[in-house]
Amino acid sequence: MLTPNQAKLVLLDRRKEEVKQFFEEYKAAIEALVAEHGPNHAFQDDQGVVYQLVELDGKWVNFERFGVERTRRAGEARGSLSIKKAKELGFNVKE
């Protein structure tokens, strides 16, 4: 049985690729607009929200102290946590 925090992490981890794909598409859409209109282009959507393309000075990289490694899921070649290590931790894992 999973604790509420463990269950939440599992659900979030399962959505990780979906979220990653969203941000990749979002970045590509911004790059396409800059290529089409140039920086500083502004436009308004159908709800009245105004958007402007801006050149960023840079972003700080956030280095996380803790992370999560996991064994592979069905259809994946490998995970970040080896089957061997999972077994050493006392889990019953399918090869």
Which residue reads 């105004």 in tokens?
50
Q: Which pLDDT band holds residue 44 (cuts at 50, 70, 90)?
A: very high
Tokens found for residue 62: 């956030």
Other beta carbons within 10 angstroms of residue 84's beta carbon come to 9
Q: Distance between CA 41 and CA 55 in Å, rounded?
A: 11
pTM attached to this predicted model: 0.68
Q: Which pLDDT band holds residue 14 (cuts at 50, 70, 90)?
A: very high
List phi, psi (to 5°) of 41. -70, 140
Can you give the residue ranges of every domain in the chain? 1-52, 68-95
Say whether pLDDT at 46 is over 80.
yes
Query: How many CA within 13 A on the CB side of residue 14?
Result: 7
Summarize the confidence of residues 15-38 as an average pLDDT. Answer: 94
